[in-house]
Structure 1
Amino acid sequence: MSRAKALQYYIFTRLLLAPLTIWTIVTLVFLLLRATPGDPADAILGNRAPESAKQALREQLGLSDPLWLQYIHYLGEILRLDLGTSLTSRGLPVWEIIQQHFPATAELSFFGLGIAVLVGAGFGILSASRPNTIFDVGGRLFGIVTYAIPLFWMGMIFQLIFSVQLGWFPLGTRFPIGIEPPNGMTGLYAIDSLLEGNIGKLFTALYYLALPSLSLGILLSGIFERMVRVNLRQTLQSDYVEAARARGIPERKILLSHALKNALIPVITVLGLTFATLLGGAVLTEVTFSWPGLGNRLYEAISQRDYPTVQGVMVFFGAIVVLASIVIDIVNAAIDPRIRY
């Protein structure tokens, strides 16, 4: 079988397995939500509401049905691409909640990942190109420390230093109250400001985005630093690099033109999966900085036992991760001809 046909077969197989993966996510979320303590009726009506009112609400929401029947009904809604209606947002469809809050999460994830790649790759290249020096030790220490620090703790420390003590950045939110945010199709304030041609709103959006994205990016940079350092060091010790040195090619050209390209192949895989995970994993950063993203909305839905919202958001995030993994495999195959399927 030729490489092109093998790759096509692999992609086709992954596409067939994607619905199974999403179904597994749907099932696990459905069961785990109903295994957790708490009652949505209490969250909606309050603990002091009459039991008759709570029971009527459970029947209205279908929560009094047997578990298997609730599961069948929910699978039917998923197959119709209906994520349901929120229990706590005045009957707002879950799709509308995703449309309202996802752009904020995407913007935070994009800028956070950009900072992580720039900082992590920079430290990794510096450490790998100067082994057994203070740069190497510092790079390894940076990778270990940033990987170990809790995300919420870093966010609070950044707020304490740069917002409370120095007053350089706002404590939270996405845009100042009383100022109309940029209007646009994307929902990404930085891009919409550019499309409007409003430089003032662009700087305001970046100003409010700086601290949460910096907090998120620095902690994630440790992952990229360690991967770039390890892979680049192994590549610099390979035979073709030694042959390039023997031919008198400058070390800088060897590093940038020969070694770095091959060393970044595993990093690309982590890059794509990290971005997909960030879309659903920036919950702590969004909660810490009161960022109005989908992760913050998911945290509120979990606290309020809003089953449809939690399930719908998790299915949405799961679909993004599955799609990202397929795209990453295709990109890796295009970059590295040695990959076989």
Structure 2
Amino acid sequence: MKNYIIKRILLVIPLLLCISFVCFIFISLIPSDPAEVALRIRQTPIITEEAILQVRKELGLNDPFLIRYVKWLINCLKLNFGVSYTNPSRTVLGEISRSLPPTLKLAGMSLFFVITLSIPIGFFSAVFKDSLFDRFIRGMVFTTTAMPPYWINFNVDC
């Protein structure tokens, strides 16, 4: 069992590399120029060719694709995710560390509510199998599972 677990854990590494490479390819295929987008986000009043070339140089977009990927991968392993496009004075790691606690709090609260509701509902559905309650719950689960997520759009300010 120990060897099986080690083998499965080691298989995660090439899988993560493949996924990151495919994502990097897709991001590179986006038709807009990332340097121009960064300038627009920074609300640069006049976007010149020289400004675009300067930002491309800053972001390392002049390098060949594979070199950019390897540099990006090495930086990610060092937890250096670069500078935020929207606010160049902040790092991406700083933005992640600022946003992670509320995200984990929200996910934890969601997990608590799901477990608190699903265990009693599952218990009663098992005890009263094929009853009106059980059929109603199965219908609700089927309906909400089949429903696209954007149909349930709650506008909650956190």
Question: TM-score normalised to the size of structure 2?
Answer: 0.84
Shift in alpha-carbon separation, 1:37–1:116, aligned structure 2, 3 A: farther
Aligned to 2:135: 137
Give me the whole-angstrom Cα distance separating, in 1, the residues matched to 2:118 and 2:141: 8
Aligned to 1:69: 67
Report if aligned partners of 2:79, 2:93 keep a CA contact under 8 Å in 1. Answer: no
Give me the whole-angstrom Cα distance separating, in 2, the residues matched to 1:19 and 1:85: 26
Give me the whole-angstrom Cα distance separating, in 2, the residues matched to 1:150 and 1:118: 24
SS at match of 2:98: helix
Give me the whole-angstrom Cα distance separating, in 2, the residues matched to 1:25 and 1:93: 24
Aligned to 1:172: 157
Equivalent residue pairs, number: 154
Q: Which has the higher contact order (CA 8 A, sep 6+)?
A: 1
Give me the whole-angstrom Cα distance separating, in 1, the residues matched to 2:118 and 2:149: 16
Is 1:23 aligned to residue 8 of structure 2?
no
Q: Specify the code of the residue in structure 2 equivalent to 1:100.
A: R
Aligned to 2:105: 107
Give 1 or 2: higher helix fraction. Answer: 1
- Greater shift, 49-58 or 120-129, is seen at 120-129
Aligned to 2:32: 38
Aligned to 2:147: 149
Give me the whole-angstrom Cα distance separating, in 1, the residues matched to 2:112 and 2:31: 39
Give me the whole-angstrom Cα distance separating, in 1, the residues matched to 2:17 and 2:107: 25
Question: TM-score normalised to the size of structure 1?
Answer: 0.42
For structure 1, the 5+ residue unaligned runs are: 1-5, 160-170, 174-341
The Cα shift of 1:42 comes to: 2.2
- Greater shift, 41-50 or 128-137, is seen at 41-50
Identity of aligned residues (%): 28
SS at match of 2:87: coil
Name which of 85, 100, 118 aligns with 2:83.
85
- C-alpha root-mean-square deviation of aligned residues, in Å? 2.1
Stretches of 4+ moved more than 3 A in 1?
A: none
Is 1:10 aligned to residue 4 of structure 2?
yes
